[in-house]
Amino acid sequence: MKSALAEHADGARPELIAAAEQDLPQQAHALARARAFAEPFIAGETLDTGENTLAHADAVASILKAMGGSEAMQAASYLVYACQHLNKPHEVIAKAFGESYATLAVETTKLVRIQQQTREAADGGQQVDDPKAQTEVVRKMLLGFSRDLRVIMLRLASRLQTLRWHAACKTAAPPSVAREALNVFAPLANRLGIWQVKWEMEDLAFRFLEPDTYKRVARLLDEKRAEREEYVEQLRARLERELRAQGIKASVFGRPKHIYSIVKKMRGKSLGFDQVFDIRALRVIVPEIKDCYAALAWVHERFTPVEDEFDDYIARPKPNGYQSLHTVVREASGKAVEIQIRTQAMHEHAEHGVAAHWAYKEAGAKGYAGVTASGEYDAKIAVLRQLLAWERDLAGGAPGLFEDRIYVLTPDAAVVELPQGATPVDFAYSVHTNLGHRCRGARVDGAMVPLNTPLQNGQTVAIVTVKEGGPSRDWLNADLGFLASNRAKAKVRAWFNEQLRHETVARGREAVEKLLQREGRTAVRLEELASQLGFKSADDLFAVVGKDEYSLRHIEALLRPAEAPAPHDEVLLKKARHSERTGKGGVLVVGIDSLMTQLAKCCKPAPPDAIGGFVTRGKGVSIHRRDCSNFRELAARSAERVIEVEWGTAPGESGAVYPVDIAVEAADRQGLLRDISEVFAKEKMNVIGVQTQSVKGSAWMTFTVEVADSARLAKVLHTVADVPGVHWARRR
């Protein structure tokens, strides 16, 4: 029995078949040779679906033949499945059949691999019915192969055969396969004008996705199928005959009904099955617009129009440009029939959508779809445009959604999306930042081009690189046109900013290390030094020093040896006999009486800080905070001179006060010093010293305040940090 596809082979758009095959050379006995070549590899294997691979390839070749494909394209269906069994498929197939066959087989294999990955993601729970997510899948899966329509047609035929096989075996197709067919491949077939593939694929996919609904509608259609088809054919012949008798050159066709389209209409308009008028439907094609209205007048005179079921899409075209007259009438027996009336040009646009529009606009005398044997019109670009228009369909038809983008390919056929006007440098940065930095040349479709050459849709771009290096400053010159992508521009600027920072940090590191050498403190850990000065890292300290935004005097003040403080920085305390606490804010030295003590300037301890003592040479015991890096250094160097100490009085009891340093970093502004000082005044803390430095909008401030109890500092620091413009405040 002849397949439905074969019966409608003229619906497969022969001109697209021709476009697909324009680069596929015809060879003697190519089909038989290809099958013989592939059979040893695939005869005994099965596909993931369970179908025998050779049987599947036979069926795909048959479908391609019904679509109008030549023996050469049918032969390619076998080479695709042999490809994965070859170590060097391109080389082997090119030698046996030619370069074009090899390219087709390898590219189709890549597409199959991407489809498998997409379905695996879908089976793993990814939402595939979301139009945005689906558009992304479509873009990656098919736009990269749009330059070779043969690849897409092979995949359409293969997917149709997979669905047919499941139907014949009465096994359910995997949901991801059925969804991909319904939401991706059927709309693609529609865009390419391969209508019968579209309709059959939709019905089969719907059958697997919603089997109960499919069976119910199929049963309703089958109840009076023979009677309905006989009735429609009689009405079609009668209408065509009588219109021609009225002088109207009309061709009338019965419209085949498909279950999925019926269900869509029922759901879209909330109709019952008996209300879907176009189950009995005719289409009238006439030469001119005036003939449309003449035919309509006669139909309405001959039959009874159904109220509110007439639409004039000729006078008021749909937003996508669709034009036609739609009417529903009842004949003498009361049966409703939908009739569409349009010109041939309107019919081509309705059937082929945007593709037909391009054909009439651009092809001129070159023929439908602009494709001729001479190849005057670039059919590949036309196909790419069809696919982009189809992508807009899936995205909901948002105007201008993809007009500012182009799609180019890597040498591995991966799709890269870029803004209009993008260059090979933009492409390189889009693939990988490091590839952009090292870019020195580019090949576009195999030819070397300048790096500021604007790229076009569908081109393949390969980047020539150096092992090491960075971008050119010329790339940031807008007049030279090297970069169109804001993302690429940002990456180039970031590279130069990082280079400048490296130089600045190196300069700052050198200055700090020289200072440490002069002070004899080369053992100081740089990260700890930076932390004590209020910086997050040593590099942050080096950066401000390298930019002359931070004075080395701050570091010098921190590094002054604790053993030799200035007299006014010392607080002398004595320990009383029998632990009698005497002296203002006294410190008890465990096991020793009347030993002079002094508070270290480097860390300025205050009760109730955990403290330790270090016996100096001739100046008593220097008291440090336990977390002081200088104390840890001294203890590591001379552990025998470390002694246990403790505060002699409870905080606040003796009335003693202690100097404490508070570091503040803030955005500089008028009144900042006053606002911070007011915080200390409200907290009744005496400020005995202030150091400030402001560079390029940032203020670095050190306040020395007197406290009786360091435990109060946490609250004060929190209040200071809340002052407008203050970034942080911490104890030094």
Give me the number of domains the chain comprises.
5
Q: Is residue 520 part of a domain?
A: no
617 lies in the same domain as 711: no
Q: Is residue 395 part of a domain?
A: no
Residue 172 sits in a domain of what CATH number? 1.10.3210.10
What is residue 4's predicted lDDT score, i.e. its pLDDT?
Answer: 35
Which of 158, 168, 214, 156 has the alpha carbon at shortest distance from 12?
Answer: 156
What is residue 569's predicted lDDT score, i.e. its pLDDT?
Answer: 38
66 lies in the same domain as 174: yes
Please give the radius of gyration of the chain, using alpha carbons only, rounded to the nearest integer. 42
Q: Is residue 51 part of a domain?
A: yes
Q: Is residue 439 part of a domain?
A: yes
242 lies in the same domain as 332: yes
310 lies in the same domain as 167: no
Q: Is residue 180 part of a domain?
A: yes
Residue 443 sits in a domain of what CATH number? 3.10.20.30
Torsion-angle region of 160 (φ positive above 0: left; ψ -120 to 50: alpha; else: beta): alpha
Residue 453 is given by DSSP the state P
Whole-angstrom Cα distance, residue 184 to residue 178? Answer: 10
Q: Is residue 171 part of a domain?
A: yes
Pick from 444, 468, 484: which residue ends a domain?
484
266 lies in the same domain as 340: yes
Question: Residue 190: CB partners within 8 Å, gap ≥ 6?
Answer: 198, 353, 390
Ordered strands of the 439-444 beta sheet: 447-449, 439-444, 461-465
Tens digit of pLDDT for each residue in 216-236?
887 777 666 666 677 788 888
Burial class of residue 697 in the structure, from the number of CB atoms within 10 Å of its CB (0-12 exposed, 13-18 middle, 19+ buried): exposed
Domain enclosing residue 200, as ranges = 4-208
Burial class of residue 541 in the structure, from the number of CB atoms within 10 Å of its CB (0-12 exposed, 13-18 middle, 19+ buried): buried
What is residue 370's predicted lDDT score, i.e. its pLDDT?
Answer: 28
103 lies in the same domain as 132: yes
Pick from 176, 208, 240: which residue ends a domain?
208
Pick from 645, 667, 686: which residue ends a domain?
645
Residue 276 sits in a domain of what CATH number? 3.30.460.10
Q: Contact 142/189 with Cβ under 8 angstroms? A: no
Whole-angstrom Cα distance, residue 292 to residue 396? Answer: 31
Cis amide prior to 40 (ω within 30 degrees): no
Tens digit of pLDDT for each residue in 330-388?
888 777 888 999 998 888 766 644 334 333 333 333 332 222 222 322 344 444 445 54
249 lies in the same domain as 325: yes
Q: Is residue 512 part of a domain?
A: no
What is residue 616's predicted lDDT score, i.e. its pLDDT?
Answer: 84
662 lies in the same domain as 639: no
Q: Contact 395/401 with Cβ under 8 angstroms? A: yes
76 lies in the same domain as 153: yes
Task: Name the packing angle between helices 89-97 and 99-123 (round to 10°).
Answer: 140
What is residue 271's predicted lDDT score, i.e. its pLDDT?
Answer: 66
603 lies in the same domain as 693: no
301 lies in the same domain as 342: yes
pLDDT mean by block of 10 residues, the chain; 732 residues = 36 47 60 90 89 94 80 84 86 86 80 64 49 49 56 86 94 86 80 73 91 83 67 86 91 77 74 61 91 93 88 82 86 83 83 40 31 32 48 46 65 74 93 91 91 84 89 90 91 87 88 82 83 85 83 78 40 36 52 71 85 83 86 85 80 72 87 86 84 78 85 86 88 84
Q: Cα separations (Å) of 584 from 327, 579, 601?
A: 107, 14, 18
Residue 12 is given by DSSP the state G
628 lies in the same domain as 673: no
Residue 672 sits in a domain of what CATH number? 3.30.70.260
Phi and psi at 535, nearest 5°, equal: -105, 150
Q: Is residue 505 part of a domain?
A: no
